[in-house]
Amino acid sequence: MGTKATRKDFYMEIRRSLGRFLSIFFIVALGVAFFSGIRSSEPDMRATGDAYFDGADLMDIKTVSTLGITADDIRAIGNVDGVEKVEGGYSADFLCQGEDREIAVHIMSMLPSMNKVTVTEGRLPQKPGECLTDDEMHYKVGDKIKLKAGDGKKVTDTLTTDTLTVVGTGNTPCYISFSRGNTTIGTGALSGFFVVADSTFDMDVYTEAYVQAEGAKELTAYTDAYEDRVKEIQDNIEAITGERGQIRRQELTADAEEELDKAKKELDDGKKEAEEELSEAEQTLKDGEEQLADAREQISDGRAQLEKARATLNSKQKELDNAKAEYASGKQQIEDGEAAYVQGMADFGAQKAAFDKQKAEAESKFAQQKEQLDQLNHLCNRMAADVAQKKAQLSTLEVTIDNLNQQISGMNPADPQLPDLQDQLQKAEADRDDLRDNILPAALAELQGYQTQYEQSKKAYDAAKDEADSRLAAGQQELDAGAAKLSATKTKLDSSGAELASAWNRIQDGQTQIDNGWTELEKQEDTLDKAEAELAASEKELADGRKEYEEAKSEADQKIADGEQKIADAEEEIGKIKNPKWYVYDRSTLTEYTGYGDNADRMRAIGKVFPVLFFLVAALISLTSMTRMVEEQRTEIGTMKALGYHKLTIASKYLGYALLATLGGSIFGVLFGEKVLPYIIIYAYGIMYHHIPDILTPYNMTYAAAATLAALACTIGATLAACYKELSAQPAVLMRPPAPKNGKRVFMERVTFIWKRLSFTWKSTVRNLMRYKKRFFMTVFGIGGCMALMLVGFGIKDSVFAISELQYSQIQVYDGMAYLEEDISDEKQQNTAEFMGRDTDVEQYTEVNMRNITLVNGSRERDAYECVPKSVEDIGSFIHFRDRRSHDKYELTDEGAIISEKTAKLLDAKAGDTIYVKDEEEGNHPVKIASICENYMGHYIYMTPGLYEDVYGERAAYNCYFFKAEDSSKSALEKTGQKILRQDGVLSISYLRDIQKQLDDMLKSLNLVIVVLIVSAGMLAFVVLFNLNNINITERQRELATIKVLGFYDPEVAAYVYRENVILTFIGAGVGMVMGRLLHLFIIRTVEVDAAMFGRNINFPSYVYSLLFTVAFSAFVNWVMYFKLKRIDMVESLKSIE
């Protein structure tokens, strides 16, 4: 490339603009990675599946015949052209007890080399009776499983034993997912498989033959090449089946006749022998019966005697008991008397004490009174003495006076002694007067008073004493009488006690006699009981013997009858033996095998649209970057041109730049994308197909090359175009600054009232947006694209996850279905219906006819469930018929059927059309479609019983109940279900909750895929925004520098730029929402499987999340840009325009 200088310039360019180089590199890398990665997922899924199938030597073709396949057949198939290997195998379906209910299992024999089983735990079965169970089942090594045949035959007709021992668990390539397929027994669905050694099967012929096609192993499964190859060999095998069938029939007929003869003879022999044995047994029984009758008579005699003895004993006992009662009552009387006596004694004691106390009290009182009386008497006496003394004094005085008087009278009056004597006389007369007149009468009065008092008291005392004495005497008399009575009582009591004691002795004697009598009686009775027990045992023996005899007899009869029947049947069978029917299947007969391919196809559908848009955005951005780069370097191009460099040399710098960035990015993208994305996606599907061990992600060169070439074409083309434009100009023109772009008035300026209010920066922003139209659309498309991708990611999640919720809480709102046995009797059906109506756990139920039918419209066919409710009124509360968009309700009428939306779409039928129910025997039945209802899972056609009769000409037979439980929590529902299942005639129960869970599980695998989409879209959004912002800032560096020189602060400068970014982000997001919505609709339609219809909705939060992500990325990029803005050198403003 050119000169040394240009080379150097080239490297310097990359170094200088490393940001741009890397952003192109990564945008291209992302685009290519996503495009090639998602696209590769589909072939990688196939390759992964194929590697697993090849590794396990999975069969290509399976052949079954209605009469089994003989070793000769196997040899014949082996000789067919194109058959590489053929192996015969056995299989049969049985019932066994599962965790909580009876389940149906598929038992298959191990093949010598094909369909290799992977052992997870334990080992492969080797001996008969050993088995390896399905990983998905709950059995553990060492468990014993008892099998039951589902069709009334015996397990041992098919197997050597009916009990299998688990020796290991594992998985087989025949079942790659959870579903185990269908059967004709039990609930109709298989719950798992058991693998056994072929010696466990006890069959003359193989049930199926497995074939590997020549050259098929080298081809990848699910590809047309593989399928064509297998089809060819399938046809080859089909060609020999007619001949093989004839041979098989002849063989069977010959064998059967020979056996029939043998059986007839055996039957006759058997009959004779049985009769002899039976008559002998009869005789023995009769003898035994006679002996027993004798024994029975003897025992009954003994019993009668015993009865008599017992009666005597009983009457004696009764007498004794009477005596005992009398004794007891006598004893009681004595005891009562004694108690009364004791009480009397006590009373007497108390009386006596009281009397004594009274007496003492009275005596002491009288003594006291007596004393007082004596004192009074004494006082009287003393007074009398006093009075006497006074009287004596008086007389003394009288004497004195008389003496004196005498003296005086005797004396002359002049005697000197006279006055003295007169004085003495006077004084004595005064004393005498005093004594006589005062003192003496007072003393006399006093004495008289005391004497009166004494006399009164004495009289009172005497009266009281007399009364008390008489009372005490009466009391004493009473006491004496009481004591006498008590002693008489005591004497009587003692004599009664002696009498009683003698009576007791007599009673004791009588009791002893009676007891002895009883003991004797019991002894007799024991003997009799023993004899009786012996008799009973003998009787039982005899009865057993009789029963045995009856059984043997009926058995013998039955056997004979059976034998006769069998012979008759066999004779009929032999007549009926037809040529066997052969079926030759490819791998699609394996459960879920096709589903895996469908998932790969779905991935292809996603890969068709999503990565293209992704890639488009990436290409557009790198294209813009390159164009910008060339335009920016206009002066340099001019200079180079002026210097005389060749156009190509000049252009080669830019082409080289683009080539290096794009090629580098592409290679990186392919290396990363084709490894990581398919791995994640297949890993996600691994949740469903978890036995596929290794994920293969080979490089798919076609996609790698396509993506790389497209990326190169975009960038190189853009660079070339830009270079061509610049290079065609004259160097002088190039070196002059480009004419500044014209400022233009925008529409908004005409709306003056808004425009006037805008600041200049806003005006500038608005004009800028309008002026750089290219950048405007670029950014809007870039951001819009990313927003759309994220929205689609979220939207797919919404739509896919919406269906289980919509289907099972808004459309099919019942809790479960109970299927009835086929050919159920009317009585049983009546009973179950009564039970459903009666059971309080069942809130509501309705009878329906559920049937699998095939609908036909023109050349299109579709399997669907035909659902005919017995009560058209009730069905509305189990299934909501409505239009998906308008939610208008539909009624089921006799006018026509209601058909589910997806079914109608696949059949290309509209409301009002007439479609047909396929019937190969009687011809198709036409049905008119009345309306099309919202439905997401499965295909349904609903009819009224009336319409059913019109269509089929017969009445519908109801084989199923829809029911709603009163309590629909998981445990309560299962309890209710089990109760229903216990009803005679109910075949199986299925819960909508379980179906919903299965669906949710299945859809979960899409979750990771969606995360991949969202993350990738987010990354792209980031790179795109970064790049666009980068361009924006670089382009306007000079303008920004000028603004800085004018004195704008950093945040003001940033705001100047950000305003545009913010507006562009929001416009882009708005556009993205519209784009995303459309893209989502398209993708959902492509991704959908036939069995389900996904929602068409994107939930509001998804819009919000996508917007938030976009805004967040934008904000982050702008934040990073802030530093770039800060670094803009103001000196830039001084530079000339480039």
Residues that bind other proteins (CB under 8 A): 737, 739-744, 759-761, 763-764, 767-768, 771, 1038-1039, 1042-1050, 1052, 1130-1131, 1133-1137
CB of 749 to other proteins, least distance (A): 10
Q: What is the DSSP letter of 124?
A: -
CB of 1129 to other proteins, least distance (A): 9
Q: Which is nearer to other proteins, 768 or 1016 (CB)?
A: 768
Residue 80 exposure: Cα atoms within 13 Å on the Cβ side: 27
Strand partners, 95: 104, 148
- Residue whose C-alpha is closest to residue 975's, from 751, 787, 815: 815
CB of 795 to other proteins, least distance (A): 39
| Residue 924 Cα distances to 782, 808, 855, 915, 953, angstroms | 55, 32, 9, 9, 12
State the amino acid at position 593 in one-letter form.
Y
Contact of 65 with 59, CB cutoff 8 Å: no
Q: Which is nearer to other proteins, 323 or 746 (CB)?
A: 746
| Residue 702 Cα distances to 34, 602, 999, angstroms | 14, 20, 35
Strand partners, 850: 867
CB of 737 to other proteins, least distance (A): 8
Q: What is the DSSP string of 1044-1106?
A: HHTT--HHHHHHHHHHHHHHHHHHHHHHHHHHHHHHHHHHHHHH--TTB-------HHHHHHH
CB of 1027 to other proteins, least distance (A): 23
CB of 1039 to other proteins, least distance (A): 6
In three-state secondary structure terms, 899 is strand
Q: Which is nearer to other proteins, 8 or 427 (CB)?
A: 8
Token code pair at residue 47: 């390759």
Q: Which is nearer to other proteins, 342 or 1134 (CB)?
A: 1134
Q: Which is nearer to other proteins, 176 or 1053 (CB)?
A: 1053
- Residue whose C-alpha is closest to residue 89's, from 67, 71, 104, 66: 71
CB of 1007 to other proteins, least distance (A): 48
Q: Which is nearer to other proteins, 1049 or 1100 (CB)?
A: 1049
- The label of the residue with tokens 């992704």 reads 614
Q: Which is nearer to other proteins, 771 or 997 (CB)?
A: 771
CB of 628 to other proteins, least distance (A): 17
In angstroms, how far is CA 105 from the centroid of its own chain? Answer: 26
Measured CA to CA, the distance from residue 977 to residue 971 in angstroms comes to 10
Q: Which is nearer to other proteins, 1000 or 1132 (CB)?
A: 1132
Q: Which is nearer to other proteins, 644 or 740 (CB)?
A: 740
What is the widest separation between alpha-carbon atoms in the chain?
A: 223
- The label of the residue with tokens 């030759």 reads 584
Measured CA to CA, the distance from residue 477 to residue 472 in angstroms comes to 9
Q: Which is nearer to other proteins, 768 or 857 (CB)?
A: 768
Measured CA to CA, the distance from residue 816 to residue 990 in angstroms comes to 6
Q: Which is nearer to other proteins, 747 or 1100 (CB)?
A: 747
In three-state secondary structure terms, 97 is strand
CB of 1127 to other proteins, least distance (A): 12
- Residue whose C-alpha is closest to residue 833's, from 846, 824, 823: 846
CB of 1049 to other proteins, least distance (A): 5
Q: What is the DSSP letter of 80?
A: S
Contacts of 600 (CB under 8 A, 6+ apart): 41, 42, 45, 46, 49, 222
State the amino acid at position 737 in one-letter form.
P
CB atoms within 10 A of CB 291: 12
Q: Which is nearer to other proteins, 877 or 1042 (CB)?
A: 1042
Length of the chain measured in residues: 1138
- Residue whose C-alpha is closest to residue 922's, from 954, 880, 961: 954
State the amino acid at position 642 in one-letter form.
A
Measured CA to CA, the distance from residue 1000 to residue 981 in angstroms comes to 26
CB of 1044 to other proteins, least distance (A): 8
Q: What is the DSSP letter of 810?
A: I
Token code pair at residue 698: 């080979």
Q: Which is nearer to other proteins, 519 or 1136 (CB)?
A: 1136
Measured CA to CA, the distance from residue 632 to residue 634 in angstroms comes to 6
Q: Which is nearer to other proteins, 1046 or 1074 (CB)?
A: 1046
Measured CA to CA, the distance from residue 1021 to residue 1011 in angstroms comes to 15
CB atoms within 10 A of CB 420: 10
Angle at Cα 139 formed by Cα 138 and Cα 142, nearest 5°?
160
Q: Which is nearer to other proteins, 96 or 1040 (CB)?
A: 1040
Give the phi and the psi of residue 962 in degrees, each rounded to 5. Answer: -90, 140
Q: Which is nearer to other proteins, 712 or 758 (CB)?
A: 758
Q: What is the DSSP letter of 767?
A: H
Q: Which is nearer to other proteins, 152 or 1047 (CB)?
A: 1047
Token code pair at residue 880: 């909501």
CB of 1028 to other proteins, least distance (A): 19
Q: Where are the beta strands (DSSP E) in 214-296?
A: none
Strand partners, 189: 182
Q: Which is nearer to other proteins, 964 or 1044 (CB)?
A: 1044
Q: What is the DSSP letter of 110?
A: P
Q: How many helices (H) and strands (E) does the chain have?
A: 23, 20
CB of 933 to other proteins, least distance (A): 58
Measured CA to CA, the distance from residue 488 to residue 616 in angstroms comes to 141
